[in-house]
Chain A
Amino acid sequence: MAKYTLNINGKIHEVEADPSTPMLWVLRDHLNLVGTKYGCGIAQCGSCTIHLEGTATRACMLTVASVGNQSITTIEGLSEEGDHPVQKAWLEVDVPQCGYCQAGQIMTASALLEKNPSPSDEEIEMAMNGNICRCGTYTRIKKAVKLAAGSK
């Protein structure tokens, strides 16, 4: 066990955890931020995507010990009122079916648009390819990403 000071969603959190603990479980079990989802544990599905210093990162393979003072944003901190352009576009297009993967999809999409405000279809596919949606909402996700890109 070790103590860590983490900067999550603009707030400082003190956490005591084994250094090997993935941020996914620190968020879910220690901090009660359960919007970040477990899907595979091996960075293959993207359900646990968070922003680490603004970059889309799989929280299931990011150990708490490796975070240091880098800032973390989770779905809960993407916007205060749930009105980030990507979230609004998701609602406008009515993307979700089961909804389980969507926080991860939104985190990947929002990181993409920060770096590339008007991505091509191919760039969207490339950036989003690590996020599985088992319900198959891919065409709507792409539509929502483009809508969000247009609205920024």
Chain B
Amino acid sequence: MSQQNENNTIGRRAFLRNSSLAGGGLILGFSWLNSCKPKVAEAVGMEIEMPEEWYEINSYLKIGENGVATIYCPNPEFGQGVMTSMPMLVAEELDIAWEKVMVEIAPYDAEVYGRQFTGGSQGIRTRWEGLRTVGASAKQMLKEAAAKQWEVPVSEISTADGVLTHDPTGNTLGYGDVASAAMEITVPEEVTLKSPKEFKIISNSKKNVEGKQIVTGKPMFGVDYQYEGALVAMAAHPPAFGLKLKSFDATQAKSMPGIVDVFQIKTYADDYQRNFFDTNAFTDLVVVVGKSTWEVMNAKKKLDVEWEPFADYEYSADRFGNKSQVKVPSGLESTDAHYAKMEELAAKPGQVVRKDGDPDEAFKKAAKVIERSYTCPFLAHNCMEPMNFFAHVTDDGAKLAGPLQAPMLIEGAIAASLGLPPEKVDIEMTRMGGGFGRRAYAHYAVEAGLISKKVKAPVKLVYSREDDMTFGIYRPSYQATYRAALDENNNLVAFHVKAGGIPETPIFADRFPAGAVDNYMAEQWEHNSNITIGAFRAPRSNFMAGVEQAFLDEVAELAGKDPIAFRLELLDRAMTNPVGENNDYEADRLAGVLKLVRDKSDWGTEKQGVFRGVAAYFCHNTYAAHVIDVVKANDGTPRVENAVCAMDCGIVVNPDAAANMCEGGIVDGVGNAMYGGLTFRDGATQQDNFDKYRIIRHSEAPKNIEVHFVQNEIDPTGLGEPPFPPVMGALANALYKAEGRRFYNQPFISDKPELIG
């Protein structure tokens, strides 16, 4: 995901055309079933009087006769805050008071709403221009409608807080007064957007529009989906990677109370060409359908299933136009064997993906050389809401609803599996109880559809925590070896990174410190596996950032330099006289967050019993730097006392929510670096629930987190991923100070000798 960096901002003309084409069709998608969508009367945290009539200005926006507006958020919400921040973009340009805005999630309709995708931290970045244009063009239509009514030139009309004013006379009209007439106005071809100085809503913190529903326990999540007569389904998948279904005996399970049926489904037909997000290790499942969750859970335990090892196989894939055969190796894999294999491959030459200067010669001539190796384990996403999906498949079509990050990536698989044309598949996006990349792989929606089709009834498929944690789509296990060479003046003269993993390489050859060193080499290797992997919050960066920043800390130490000053020295080189042309970062902005975090954290001041580490990284178009302070409890347990974070994501749309996202990223980073790990034995995960898989808890989280943003007027970029990856580096560097030894293997808690706690 991070490597795609697609800029799918819709061209303004195409965008407006689509918006106007869709006028009138918007409401239809909502009507034919009881949905768990929030009642919007409290959408921005206060009571709003509902209008008697709604007038659709475009497909993102309707205005009531009383001046209240409903704004549709096009992208699915998994906690990143787009349901608040995206409507803020529309409201800003519409010039409406935020208190008069209600928010709903848009229906899934890619022709109207473009890329309805949550992932890659691209939401705000790709919607920045389009959503403001939506608001601005609606405002223009309202102004033209008012101009007609008053019979004055539109240039004499100004707007503020949902009120149109004829400046020469002082006459006013509310948006609601002209909303009906505005529907008849031609969508403007061009509109002028505000300059950042004119913003009233953007950059002013607005609270989560669904906050009230969340704290009162309203049904909002996929697993809460209500539908008359819906059955509950659960599916049994192989207990280990490398196994497939051989046979099953449903007799006992079928005889259990409340059970309607037990049968097999096959998610993808043998000749189905899978897209990049159709990842799925377990395509043959045994399904139990019944009347209630507890009954189905119990019956599932009574299933008598035989699994068998599979032989090597291939499937055909179409990954963004690249057609290939994907090889799946047989075997029951184990973590010990993975680490041995990674060590073996790390010792061999890899595939060179970037080379500047003459690294071999520079290392030979160096005054000092340092080499360090790092590893990380597989991780499970562990969204708090386990995977689930609702489906109601009839002869007329399919209605599906549930938590997913990318409906357009699974629509094809759903349609193919049900034998329906895609236009007969309707997908509703519910609020997600976390995503972290996991819900971009929505095989569970395909499964729900197949189950509903088989039992000819509405069905909600639910995964148990164990089902969720053992089904695959993990963060891969990675390894990286770094070497650095210093000359006699302690200047960094050569840098070498070789990284690989199971089953993919994590390397980013063109990121810092590429561009800052004359002699540079990046190599990669991979080792295939039948364990399925997928995007996990800042894919690959979530390993590379931490280990690169931990390594640079050691290099700075070897050079006798302050770690921040050392990085700034390198960034100065990258700014003034960069090496190579494809450097994938802006050195001044990376230096900018380092300087900000240095100043805000009072870097350089020593505090008794406080151990500090720093790290900075650029990924997903945003710059992040952290200073982490570790303290030790009386029993020796290290704990993050304080974290100071500096971010450069350009304009910050919703500052307090943005800070929340960074705080969460830091907690998540500390948690995964310290405790996270999914290990395998004979193909099976050794963790299947939270008693064995350790997630960071209250008493282990940083006590204080400060978030600072670089103030500028650059178009905004994302925040879901960027704060996360460098945390591991800052923590490793702080732990070094606290413990007197370096930490090379995640999770740090078990890096030998094991840490207390």
> Shortest distance in angstroms between A65's beta carbon and chain B's nearest beta carbon?
13
Inter-chain CA distance A137–B214, complex, in Å, is 14
The reply to whether A42 and B698 contact each other, CB–CB distance below 8 Å, is: no
CB-CB contacts of B650-684 with A at 8 A, as 1s and 0s? Answer: 00000011001101111110010000000000000
The reply to whether B705 and A139 contact each other, CB–CB distance below 8 Å, is: yes
Q: Kindly state whether residue B464 has any CB partner on chain A within 8 Å.
A: yes
Inter-chain CA distance A150–B7, complex, in Å, is 47
Inter-chain CA distance A100–B220, complex, in Å, is 9
Inter-chain CA distance A40–B384, complex, in Å, is 9
The reply to whether B294 and A22 contact each other, CB–CB distance below 8 Å, is: yes
Q: Kindly state whether residue A91 has any CB partner on chain B within 8 Å.
A: yes
Q: Kindly state whether residue A2 has any CB partner on chain B within 8 Å.
A: no
Stretch of B367-375, B608-616, B689-697 with 4 or more beta carbons under 8 angstroms from chain A = B689-697
Q: Kindly state whether residue B216 has any CB partner on chain A within 8 Å.
A: yes
CB-CB contacts of B625-663 with A at 8 A, as 1s and 0s? Answer: 000000000000000000000000000000011001101
The reply to whether A82 and B215 contact each other, CB–CB distance below 8 Å, is: yes
The reply to whether B701 and A136 contact each other, CB–CB distance below 8 Å, is: yes
The reply to whether B215 and A140 contact each other, CB–CB distance below 8 Å, is: no
The reply to whether B664 and A74 contact each other, CB–CB distance below 8 Å, is: no
The reply to whether B660 and A140 contact each other, CB–CB distance below 8 Å, is: yes
Within 8 A of A (CB), among B212-258: 212, 214-221, 223-224, 226, 232, 257
Inter-chain CA distance A35–B374, complex, in Å, is 43
The reply to whether A96 and B215 contact each other, CB–CB distance below 8 Å, is: yes
The reply to whether B663 and A139 contact each other, CB–CB distance below 8 Å, is: yes
- If A29-B294, A40-B465 touch, does A136 touch B664 (CB 8 Å cutoff)? yes
CB-CB contacts of B504-541 with A at 8 A, as 1s and 0s? Answer: 00000000000000000000000000000000000000
Q: Kindly state whether residue B210 has any CB partner on chain A within 8 Å.
A: yes
Residues of A within 8 Å of B221, CB to CB, are: 37, 100
- If A22-B294, A76-B217, A140-B663 touch, does A96 touch B385 (CB 8 Å cutoff)? no
- If A37-B384, A39-B465, A141-B698 touch, does A102 touch B214 (CB 8 Å cutoff)? yes
Among B81, B294, B298, B657, max chain A CB count under 10 A is at B294
Residues of B within 8 Å of A35, CB to CB, are: 216-219
Residues of A within 8 Å of B435, CB to CB, are: 98
> Shortest distance in angstroms between B405's beta carbon and chain A's nearest beta carbon?
12
Q: Kindly state whether residue B589 has any CB partner on chain A within 8 Å.
A: no
Q: Kindly state whether residue B78 has any CB partner on chain A within 8 Å.
A: yes
The reply to whether B216 and A87 contact each other, CB–CB distance below 8 Å, is: yes
Inter-chain CA distance A137–B81, complex, in Å, is 13
Contact of A96 among B208, B226, B257 (CB under 8 A): B208
- If A42-B691, A132-B697, A139-B701 touch, does A97 touch B384 (CB 8 Å cutoff)? no
Q: Kindly state whether residue A3 has any CB partner on chain B within 8 Å.
A: no
Q: Kindly state whether residue A55 has any CB partner on chain B within 8 Å.
A: no
The reply to whether A99 and B704 contact each other, CB–CB distance below 8 Å, is: no
Q: Kindly state whether residue B204 has any CB partner on chain A within 8 Å.
A: no
> Shortest distance in angstroms between A10's beta carbon and chain B's nearest beta carbon?
16
CB-CB contacts of B358-385 with A at 8 A, as 1s and 0s? Answer: 0000000000000000000000001111
The reply to whether B217 and A75 contact each other, CB–CB distance below 8 Å, is: yes
Within 8 A of A (CB), among B269-309: 292-295, 298
Contact of B667 among A78, A124, A138 (CB under 8 A): A138
Q: Kindly state whether residue A44 has any CB partner on chain B within 8 Å.
A: yes
Chain B contributes a number of interface residues (CB within 8 A of A) equal to 66
Residues of B within 8 Å of A134, CB to CB, are: 382-384, 434, 436, 668, 695
Residues of A within 8 Å of B226, CB to CB, are: 32, 34
Inter-chain CA distance A1–B256, complex, in Å, is 12
Within 8 A of A (CB), among B418-466: 431-436, 462, 464-465
Contact of B698 among A21, A44, A45, A125 (CB under 8 A): A125
Residues of B within 8 Å of A18, CB to CB, are: 257, 294-295
Q: Kindly state whether residue A128 has any CB partner on chain B within 8 Å.
A: yes
Q: Kindly state whether residue A47 has any CB partner on chain B within 8 Å.
A: yes
Inter-chain CA distance A105–B294, complex, in Å, is 24
> Shortest distance in angstroms between A90's beta carbon and chain B's nearest beta carbon?
5
Inter-chain CA distance A103–B220, complex, in Å, is 12
Within 8 A of B (CB), among A90-140: 90-91, 94, 96-103, 106, 121, 124-126, 128-140
CB-CB contacts of B71-114 with A at 8 A, as 1s and 0s? Answer: 00000001111000000000000000000000000000000000
Q: Kindly state whether residue B703 has any CB partner on chain A within 8 Å.
A: yes
For this complex, into which size category does the number of interface residues on chain A fall? 35 or more
Residues of B within 8 Å of A102, CB to CB, are: 214-215
Q: Kindly state whether residue B207 has any CB partner on chain A within 8 Å.
A: yes
The reply to whether A21 and B660 contact each other, CB–CB distance below 8 Å, is: no
Contact of B384 among A33, A36, A45 (CB under 8 A): A45
The reply to whether B699 and A126 contact each other, CB–CB distance below 8 Å, is: yes
Inter-chain CA distance A72–B305, complex, in Å, is 39
Inter-chain CA distance A90–B232, complex, in Å, is 33
> Shortest distance in angstroms between A123's beta carbon and chain B's nearest beta carbon?
11
Q: Kindly state whether residue B331 has any CB partner on chain A within 8 Å.
A: no
> Shortest distance in angstroms between B82's beta carbon and chain A's nearest beta carbon?
11
Q: Kindly state whether residue B386 has any CB partner on chain A within 8 Å.
A: yes
- If A91-B212, A125-B698, A131-B698 touch, does A139 touch B704 (CB 8 Å cutoff)? yes
> Shortest distance in angstroms between A29's beta carbon and chain B's nearest beta carbon?
4
Contact of B660 among A87, A97, A126 (CB under 8 A): A97
In the complex, which residue of chain B has the Cβ closest to the Cβ of A125? B699
Q: Kindly state whether residue B24 has any CB partner on chain A within 8 Å.
A: no
> Shortest distance in angstroms between A107's beta carbon and chain B's nearest beta carbon?
9
The reply to whether A42 and B690 contact each other, CB–CB distance below 8 Å, is: yes
- If A34-B219, A98-B78, A135-B664 touch, does A91 touch B207 (CB 8 Å cutoff)? yes
Inter-chain CA distance A18–B294, complex, in Å, is 9
Contact of B216 among A40, A75, A131 (CB under 8 A): A75
> Shortest distance in angstroms between A108's beta carbon and chain B's nearest beta carbon?
10
In the complex, which residue of chain A has the Cβ closest to the Cβ of B219? A34
Inter-chain CA distance A98–B661, complex, in Å, is 11
Q: Kindly state whether residue A152 has any CB partner on chain B within 8 Å.
A: no
The reply to whether B208 and A94 contact each other, CB–CB distance below 8 Å, is: yes
> Shortest distance in angstroms between A57's beta carbon and chain B's nearest beta carbon?
16
A-B contacts, 30 of them at CB < 8 A, read A18-B295, A33-B217, A34-B224, A35-B217, A35-B218, A37-B221, A39-B386, A45-B384, A82-B212, A90-B211, A91-B211, A94-B211, A96-B211, A98-B385, A98-B431, A98-B433, A99-B210, A100-B434, A101-B433, A103-B215, A121-B703, A124-B698, A129-B699, A134-B382, A134-B436, A135-B434, A136-B696, A137-B664, A137-B667, A139-B703
Known A96-B79, A134-B434, A136-B666; further 16 A-B contacts with Cβ < 8 A: A18-B294, A35-B218, A37-B384, A37-B433, A78-B216, A91-B211, A94-B208, A103-B214, A129-B697, A132-B690, A134-B436, A134-B695, A136-B667, A136-B701, A137-B663, A137-B667
